[in-house]
Amino acid sequence: MKSSWTGVALACLLALSAPAFAEDGYDLWLRVPGVADPALPVRAIVGSEAPSPILRSAIDELRDGIGAAYGAAIPEAERIADDSLVIGTPAQLPAVGDLDLPLAGLGDEGYVIRRAPIDGKSAIVIAANDDRGLLYGAFALLRHLRTTGGLDGIDRTERPAVALRLLNHWDNPDGHVERGYAGRSIWDWWRLPGHVDPRYTDYARANASIGINGAVLNNVNARADMLTRRYIAKTAAIADVLRPWGMRVYLSARFSAPIDIGGLDTADPLDPRVRAWWAGKADEIYAAIPDFGGFLVKANSEGQPGPQDYDRTHADGANMLADALAPHGGVVMWRAFVYSDVNPEDRVKQAYSEFVPLDGSFRDNVLVQAKNGPLDFQPREPFHPLFGAMPDTPLMMEFQVTQEYLGFSTHLVYLGALWEEVLDADTRVRGEGSQVSDVIDGSLHDYALTGIAGVANIGSDRDWSGSIFGQSNWYALGRLAWNPDLSARDVAKEWLAQTFTRDPAFVEPVADMMMQSREAVVNYMTPLGLTHIMGTGHHYGPAPWIDDLSRPEWNPYYYHRATRGAVGFDRTARGSDAVSQYAPPLARAWGNPATTEDEYLLWFHRLSWDYRMRSGRTLWEELVARYDLGVAQVADMQATWAALGDYVDADRFKKVSDYLAIQRAEARWWRDACIAYFGDVSNRPLPEGVEPPAKSLEYYRGLAFPYAPGN
């Protein structure tokens, strides 16, 4: 292997002499700040003589990242000398094997980083069983460098807790992104495969840096066209770009595709013709994309076709697709987001009712993908009762990174705090300590397949997510999927240090602000267990008064049922009995308002406006106080950010400031509209000293948003 010192030196000199550009967020958390320790720790990189594309990515990332941080050229070398960075598997580099590193239990994606002498020379070693582990080890070393300013304390041994760590893109072939608030789709299906946007490489690199190893490229409300020969070729072109970064591509499959594009008169999963069609389609896809990951399926939900159209079960449908993919090593991720307008059962119960009886009847390469809560990505929900209830079926977590119900991209809401709350929730299915994270990582029920997916917030905007702080949610998804036991606050600090500055005078107060942001949005939108009172269709802004839509569960009124005497949805044994879907200790606690946390009170209980809260206030007084608190918390976020302008470039500082001003105004809108409505329904005066809404209830009811993005 020839040294590339000359080329690297020239590249570094050109970079140092290039004009400075304003920060615009494009570089995400992969910016290269200067280092605190001026001593260059790496003078050469030693790796395989014939690196694979994945290892080539890792070596290039290390060379460029360390070199840029220290303002020095880092060459590649054939021999180990003092201050070498050695990267490889024992099979590639016998010297790595001689170190007897703890690689046996790390699988293909785990890694070891050690300072260790090799042949009497000082070295930093990145070792793994597979090149994917080397890639993640390289990014771990660079993350340590960016967050600490040096490589002291770099020794570590890690492996991912979850096997499938995916982004689900709700992107359509026409470029529109459902629930997308960052512009158009990054996938340019029209120009593919002839033109492959270089941005795809930057996307893959960002994902690899946080451990994301796959992407579902198209919307779960799928078009059958995505399975045609034309679109398979386009998908293959994207796969070729993502592959050197350890990523596989997946597709959302429309269940009726055998009819839509296959010329059949049925999609019945037990029909031999249908099964043969899917097997042939799988063969066709794998011929073009040998490492294709598999299918994500939304079926018999919100009008999508599915096996129930033929009096078959979800297991029948999933198993048919699983059988088609199994010879190629593919998986089926079958979504548990199901509800029907003709089913009178409480909407939050329907997934449990449909899937728990099927436990153990799915093929080994099927995962059931459930949202974090039983409703639909609300600011706060109790964890989904499926977690812990299907010991013989791998359950895959679905989070939503895009902020469909959380103010879109202009509201600063750090979702790491929400996801930590869900992952740490105790299902109590095996006594105390049976956390949702133990279900997801397979340790509770010994799942062979494990996964976490996040509905992407990525679009064509220059900053990728429509806002700077929206990037933190993409980052948190990857880090928590890699290790669900990480602290959300620590993840926020990692992101801040890499995205802005390592200075604790900036990182600590902004991390506090981020951790508060989720609670703020709950308070000014849906406090005390209220839920789904957003505008219908577009899900923008408050609309608790809507009660005239044809489907009952699409009406915000369905979820709070406020009258002059009471408010809330009774999910106890006296009501819908949704509480019985949880383990008995939780069912008992949540079945009694006195032992139900304030955060879930109106989710599980219908109570008088005079119900006495733990605070000593009545329910009405507490509701108003929470709305006021949410607005005040956003004002605190504004004040925190306003005091930190010296640490942030002018462009990003102004954009965040502008968005916080929007968020504060919209938090006040939420507060005013909701207390105007609930005050009117309950015929209650505002508590003493509370400022009245700025406008009349009629004003708020008259607002309309026909062009809200993402709808």
* Residue 594 neighbours by CB under 8 Å, 6+ apart: none
The torsion of the CA quartet 266, 267, 269, 270, rounded to 10 degrees, works out to: 10
DSSP string, 582-620: S-HHHHHHHTSGGGS-GGGHHHH--EETTPBPTTSSBHH
552 C-beta neighbours (distance < 10 Å), count: 12
User: One of 61, 158, 404, 463 is an active-site residue; which one?
Assistant: 404
| Angle between helical axes of 229-242 and 199-209 (0-180°, round to 10) | 60
Angle at alpha carbon of residue 613, lines to 608 and 617, rounded to 5°:
95
Half-sphere exposure at residue 20, Cβ-oriented, CA atoms within 13 angstroms:
3
With H, G, I as helix, E, B as strand and everything else as coil, classify residue 681.
helix
Q: Is the peptide bond before 193 cis (omega within 30 degrees of 0)?
A: yes
| Assigned token pair, 150 | 């040096």
Place of tokens 């490589």: 151
What is d(CA 394, CA 440) in angstroms, rounded to the nearest whole number?
Answer: 8
What is d(CA 385, CA 422) in angstroms, rounded to the nearest whole number?
Answer: 12
Residue 671's nearest CA partner among 638, 641, 635, 707 is 635
| Assigned token pair, 604 | 């599980």
* Run of H or E including 133: helix 131-148
User: One of 108, 188, 302, 577 is an active-site residue; which one?
Assistant: 302
Longest dimension (CA), the chain: 82
Cβ burial of 597 (10 Å; 0-12, 13-18, 19+) is middle
Q: In sequence order, which ranges of 500-574 are alpha helices (DSSP H)? A: 504-525, 557-560
Amino acid found at 27: D
Strands 331-335 and 395-400 turn out to be: unpaired
What is d(CA 257, CA 224) in angstroms, rounded to the nearest whole number?
Answer: 5
| Assigned token pair, 139 | 């990014």
- 302 noted as active-site residue: yes
User: One of 109, 158, 376, 628 is an active-site residue; which one?
Assistant: 376
* Residue 288 neighbours by CB under 8 Å, 6+ apart: 232, 233, 235, 236
* Run of H or E including 282: helix 272-288
Angle at alpha carbon of residue 189, lines to 224 and 400, rounded to 5°:
75
* Beta bridge pairs of residue 295: 251, 332
What is d(CA 381, CA 134) in angstroms, rounded to the nearest whole number?
Answer: 38
| Assigned token pair, 315 | 């297991």
* Residues with catalytic function: 302, 376, 404
